[in-house]
């Protein structure tokens, strides 16, 4: 059926992929051979038709049924030719979620679209649903064959570029909080969707607030079943974590653990490399980074060999002490100069940026406190606390700003 044989040897597969690329891709000019310039949608369409966009998926769903090892061979071949477009089964969160949790009809309708063009953003967090993500108050109300959406989302990146948002909305206020949520593929380009960038303390504005007022989503864009969105969402999140896990190996391979670390250079530049107190702190900081790399290596090995995820959970927590700790040392190294900022003062600007950005790790994607809960409960098996919002109608859950119905 396809030109790529799942029974072929890795080398044969590599040759097949390279040969396909050589007939479709101009690796020197980084464009499809049939096109004067690179057009993303056009190229993705070609890759998709060849089954190479999502090679691990079955052939009836746009893929080739390849193993994870075979997918790596394909990725390497693409990399050899500087060609983009494969591995969407690992990176395209929106498509993966629809593939894993969507109905066959939705998959048929939307996967070709998602895999070739649109960017998807995540509409999860809300001002009152941060650590407690399932506490969302954005409401979806049925109106004929569509749902009307009202509410506010926050911490959404790529919102302006996105064609679709993976939206969590509450559809049943009388069910307990996890059981009244529905997951939608929400069209972003419509009236009633207002996007406001968030001014972050780093000076960046990578995230946005999204105000949704009487916007609509067709019922057929529901991912999974009504009120079962939390389960579908977990599927999405599991993939996100896997991607982060794979990110870890990537980082490990790229991190030049044998060359001189920037913090040491800064100590030298600020003439403090001979200060014994600084030396102890530097050593400890470098050590935290090195043991985290070592932990990540063990985590990958354990995941591969024993399927154990327990070490995986440590890296995010460890990164907090690494990032906050390194920024603190750099601040002390700079001394008065740390007051400065801006392009004329790059050491100070970098240090202040890093000091602020460290909160992205210790707060974003689950605070350190939430992360410690997860380690204690999921890995160490310590018992959960009492959950006052468990098993009661969401509209009865205390929110600090009145009952749920006002949200």
Partner 1 sequence: MSTIQESEREEIREALVRFLRAEAGEERLREGMQRDRGYDGAVWRQLADMGLLGITISEAYGGIGGSALDAAMVAAELGRSLLPVPFIETCVIAPALIEASDVAEKMREVLSSIAQGTATIAIGGNATLAPYRDATCTLKVDDSDRISGEVSLVMHGAHADYLLLAIDSESQTRCFMVSADTEYAIEEQTANDPALRPATIRLNCARGIELTGLKPDDLERVRLQGVATLSALQTGAMRAMFEITVDYLKTRYQFGRPIGSFQALKHIAADLFLEVESATSAAHAAANALASADSLAARSVALAGFICNDAFRDVSAQAIQLHGGIAYTREHVAHLYWRRARATLSMLGDSDSHREAYLNTWEAAA
Q: Does 271 bind its own copies (CB under 8 A)?
A: no
Q: Does 191 bind its own copies (CB under 8 A)?
A: no
Closer to its own copies by CB, 276 or 381: give it.
276
Restricting to residues 136-165, name those near partner 1 by CB under 8 A.
Answer: 154-155
* Least distance from its own copies to the Cβ atom of residue 386, Å: 4
302: annotated active-site residue: no
* Least distance from partner 1 to the Cβ atom of residue 127, Å: 8
Closer to its own copies by CB, 1 or 277: give it.
277
350 binds, among partner 1, its own copies, none (CB under 5 to 8 A by kind): none
Restricting to residues 201-240, name those near partner 1 by CB under 8 A.
Answer: 201
Secondary structure class of 167 (helix, strand, coil):
strand
Catalytic residue among 209, 219, 240, 297: 240
* Least distance from partner 1 to the Cβ atom of residue 212, Å: 19
Give yes or no for a contact between 330 and 278, defined as CB atoms under 8 angstroms apart.
no
Closest residue by Cα to residue 81 from 29, 138, 46: 29
Give yes or no for a contact between 226 and 235, defined as CB atoms under 8 angstroms apart.
no
Q: Does 385 bind partner 1 (CB under 8 A)?
A: yes
* Least distance from partner 1 to the Cβ atom of residue 266, Å: 13
Question: Following CA atoms 93, 99, 104, 108 in sequence, which dihedral angle do they give, to the nearest 10 degrees?
Answer: 70
Q: Does 301 bind partner 1 (CB under 8 A)?
A: no
Residues, the chain = 407
Secondary structure class of 392 (helix, strand, coil):
coil
With vertex at residue 328, the alpha carbon angle to CA 324 and CA 331, rounded to the nearest 5 degrees, is: 140
- Out of 37, 277, 304, 380, the residue judged to bind its own copies by CB under 8 A: 277
Sign, CA dihedral 279-281-284-290, equals: negative
Closer to partner 1 by CB, 94 or 135: give it.
135
Q: Does 386 bind its own copies (CB under 8 A)?
A: yes
* Least distance from its own copies to the Cβ atom of residue 279, Å: 8
* Least distance from partner 1 to the Cβ atom of residue 163, Å: 25
From residue 325, give the alpha-carbon distance in Å to each of 23, 194, 268, 320, 345.
51, 38, 18, 8, 21
- Out of 31, 309, 311, 354, the residue judged to bind partner 1 by CB under 8 A: 311
What tokens does 74 get? 């394909």
- Cα–Cα distance between 246 and 242 in angstroms, integer? 6
Restricting to residues 277-296, name those near partner 1 by CB under 8 A.
Answer: 277, 279-280, 282-284, 286-287, 290-292, 294-295
What tokens does 120 get? 């998807």
Closest residue by Cα to residue 388 from 39, 68, 135: 135
Q: Does 280 bind its own copies (CB under 8 A)?
A: yes
Q: Does 400 bind its own copies (CB under 8 A)?
A: no
* Least distance from partner 1 to the Cβ atom of residue 341, Å: 4
- Out of 276, 307, 336, 381, the residue judged to bind its own copies by CB under 8 A: 276
Terminal Cα-to-Cα distance of the chain (whole angstroms): 53
Closer to its own copies by CB, 279 or 324: give it.
279
- Out of 130, 218, 231, 325, the residue judged to bind partner 1 by CB under 8 A: 130
Q: Does 385 bind its own copies (CB under 8 A)?
A: yes
Secondary structure class of 170 (helix, strand, coil):
strand
What tokens does 133 get? 């993500």
Closest residue by Cα to residue 316 from 254, 285, 358, 257: 358
Closest residue by Cα to residue 138 from 398, 400, 394, 396: 394
Instruction: Burial-class residue 297 by CB neighbours within 10 Å (0-12, 13-18, 19+).
Output: middle
Q: Does 67 bind its own copies (CB under 8 A)?
A: no
232 binds, among partner 1, its own copies, none (CB under 5 to 8 A by kind): none
Catalytic residues: 240
Residues within the interface to its own copies (CB under 8 A): 275-277, 280, 385-386, 388
């Amino acid at each position: 059926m396809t030109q790529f044989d799942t029974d072929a040897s890795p080398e044969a597969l590599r040759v097949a992929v390279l040969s396909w690329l050589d007939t479709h891709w101009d690796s020197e000019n980084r464009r499809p051979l049939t096109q004067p310039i690179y057009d993303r949608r056009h190229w993705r369409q070609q890759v998709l038709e060849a089954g190479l966009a999502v090679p691990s998926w079955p052939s009836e769903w746009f893929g080739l049924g390849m193993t994870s090892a075979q997918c790596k061979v394909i990725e390497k071949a693409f990399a050899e030719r500087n060609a983009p477009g494969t591995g969407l089964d690992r990176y395209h969160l929106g498509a993966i979620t629809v593939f894993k949790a969507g109905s066959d009809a939705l998959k048929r309708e939307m996967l070709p679209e998602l895999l070739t063009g649109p960017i998807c953003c995540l509409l999860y967090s809300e001002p009152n649903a941060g650590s407690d993500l399932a506490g969302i108050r954005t409401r979806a109300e049925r109106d004929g064959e569509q749902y009307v959406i009202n509410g506010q989302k926050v911490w959404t990146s790529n919102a302006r570029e996105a064609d679709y948002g993976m939206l969590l909305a509450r559809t049943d206020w009388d069910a307990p909080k996890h059981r009244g949520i529905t997951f939608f593929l929400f069209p972003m380009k419509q009236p009633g969707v207002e996007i406001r960038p968030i001014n972050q303390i780093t000076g960046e504005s990578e995230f946005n607030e999204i105000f949704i007022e009487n916007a609509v989503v067709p019922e057929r864009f529901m991912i999974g079943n009504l009120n079962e969105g939390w389960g579908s969402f977990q599927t999405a999140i599991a993939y996100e974590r896997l991607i982060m896990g794979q990110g870890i190996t990537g980082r490990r391979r790229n991190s030049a653990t044998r060359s001189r670390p920037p913090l040491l250079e800064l100590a030298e530049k600020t003439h403090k490399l001979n200060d014994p107190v600084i030396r102890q702190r530097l050593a400890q900081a470098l050590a935290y980074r090195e043991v985290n790399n070592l932990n990540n290596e063990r985590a990958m090995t354990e995941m591969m060999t024993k399927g154990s995820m327990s070490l995986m959970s440590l890296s995010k927590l460890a990164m907090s002490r690494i990032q906050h700790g390194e920024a603190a040392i750099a601040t002390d190294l700079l001394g008065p100069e740390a007051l400065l900022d801006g392009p004329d003062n790059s050491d100070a600007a970098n240090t202040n940026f890093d000091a602020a950005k460290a909160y992205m790790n210790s707060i974003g994607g689950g605070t350190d406190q939430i992360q410690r809960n997860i380690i204690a409960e999921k890995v160490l098996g310590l018992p959960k606390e009492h959950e006052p919002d468990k098993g009661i109608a969401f509209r009865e859950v205390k929110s600090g700003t009145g009952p749920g119905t006002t949200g």
